[in-house]
Amino acid sequence: MTQLPVADLSVALYRPAAFNQGGTGVYTRRLIEGFREAGISSVTPVGGSPGGIFSKFYMEHFSIPERIRNGGYDLLHLPAFGGRSPGGVPYAVTVHDMAFMANPGWFPFLRSIYYRLHFPRTAKRAALVMADSDFTSMEIRKYLGIDSVRIYLGAPINHKDPGLFRTRHGITGEYAIYTGTVEPRKNLSRLLRSWRAVRGVHPGLDLIIAGRWGWGSPGTKSLLTETPGVKWLGPLPTEELQSAVSGARLMVYPSVYEGFGLPPLEAAAAGVPFVAGPASALREIYGEIAAGFCGKSTESISQAVLNALDTEIRPDVLRDFARGFSVRSMAENTWASYEGLFR
């Protein structure tokens, strides 16, 4: 990589990723906000909403590469695997997890093939690969044979009034919450089956599922809509989601594989205790602060939830933990990684 004074470094950030409905969109929006908070003005978000499939293709392959080429940028950052760098402009890519290699069966068949063909090629050609956790860095080395820089994700402290969520959805009693896309590795079918046992001890405790349907079996969708005490609300707007999390008695996130796992950090940022699943990244990040960890089984989930409901963790302790994962520090560490390429 050519050396240049880091004060002159100019970086383009692939902004269409910010419009993704999942975690990639959250990450990109927070990264942009973190650069603003840190006063880092040398990173320019490039591109807008991708719109439909043809608009997305044209933007990704023609209009944005042309803007980057003509803008004289030293580096392009792809916040996920979407986007393309024009020839002559090096790029960085953030790899959020390696689930598509670790267990291809978690994904629809054609999507799985596309991921395994496209994503490794994008990562191997990158000048800089950033990973969400030490676990993901190890997975990148294991499956792709390349090194990466670990940069933890961030979340803002959440003091939203729970009343917003309760009023809009008619929620009056206590509830636990799961947030995130509904997909197989999140282990939601077993969480839903576990709720009968939880309600046997806490009959008034509902389970709120706040997240869009990604993919999965018809059986999972039936459990979402038919399990007593479970309310599946689909995706919620940001402020409403923050309000929902802040009013929860407990977050339950039983995922078996994660690159980082943002929802438990969102809970901590709201002062809400959480149960996390057996994913290695979850234990890496939350091992000392979680109210409990569950295994894969239905029985393990229900027992972990019941134990957590009897465990008191002060909200200020949880928020202090979350302050160590600010969006500003995420952006500053990302900028330092950019600079390291040109020294």
At residue 204, does pLDDT exceed 60?
A: yes
H-state helical runs in the chain: 23-38, 53-58, 64-71, 99-102, 109-125, 134-144, 163-169, 188-201, 218-226, 238-246, 262-269, 280-286, 298-309, 315-323, 327-341
Q: What's the confidence (pLDDT) of residue 84?
A: 87
What is the band of 85 on the pLDDT scale with cuts at 50, 70, 90?
A: confident
**Averaged confidence pLDDT in the chain:** 95
Both 65 and 11 in one domain: the answer is yes
What's the rounded mean pLDDT across residues 304-315?
Answer: 96
For tokens 């078996």, name the residue.
256
Both 294 and 317 in one domain: the answer is yes
Both 196 and 148 in one domain: the answer is no
Which domain CATH number covers 89? 3.40.50.2000
If one counts every other C-beta atom within 10 angstroms of the C-beta of residue 204, the result is 10
- The answer to whether residue 99 sits within a structural domain is yes
Q: Is residue 333 within 8 Å of residue 316, measured between CB atoms? A: no
Both 19 and 136 in one domain: the answer is yes
Measured CA to CA, the distance from residue 160 to residue 59 in angstroms comes to 36
- The answer to whether residue 242 sits within a structural domain is yes
Both 140 and 196 in one domain: the answer is no
Q: What's the confidence (pLDDT) of residue 129?
A: 98
For tokens 């940028």, name the residue.
73
- The answer to whether residue 1 sits within a structural domain is no
Q: Which residues contact 308 (CB under 8 A, 6 or more apart)?
A: 250, 273, 274, 275, 291, 292
What is the band of 225 on the pLDDT scale with cuts at 50, 70, 90?
A: very high
Q: Which residues contact 269 (CB under 8 A, 6 or more apart)?
A: 155, 156, 157, 158, 318, 319, 322
Measured CA to CA, the distance from residue 242 to residue 150 in angstroms comes to 27
Q: Which residues contact 120 (CB under 8 A, 6 or more apart)?
A: 101, 143, 144
Both 178 and 59 in one domain: the answer is no
- The answer to whether residue 148 sits within a structural domain is yes
What's the rounded mean pLDDT across residues 297-301?
Answer: 98
Burial of 70 (0-12, 13-18, 19+ CB in 10 A): exposed
Q: What is the per-residue pLDDT across 33-69, written as a single tens digit (0 to 9) for each?
A: 999 999 999 999 999 888 888 888 888 888 999 999 9
Strand partners, 326: none
Number of structural domains in the chain: 2
Question: Could you tell me the two tokens for 189?
Answer: 């079918």
Both 204 and 88 in one domain: the answer is no
At residue 1, does pLDDT exceed 80?
A: no
% of the chain with per-residue pLDDT over 70 = 98
For tokens 């990450």, name the residue.
27
Both 302 and 183 in one domain: the answer is yes
Task: Provide the residue range defining the domain that includes 212.
Answer: 163-323
- The answer to whether residue 63 sits within a structural domain is yes
Q: What's the confidence (pLDDT) of residue 243?
A: 98
At residue 263, does pLDDT exceed 60?
A: yes
Both 149 and 197 in one domain: the answer is no
Which of the pair, 271 or 88, is modelled with greater confidence?
271
Both 109 and 211 in one domain: the answer is no
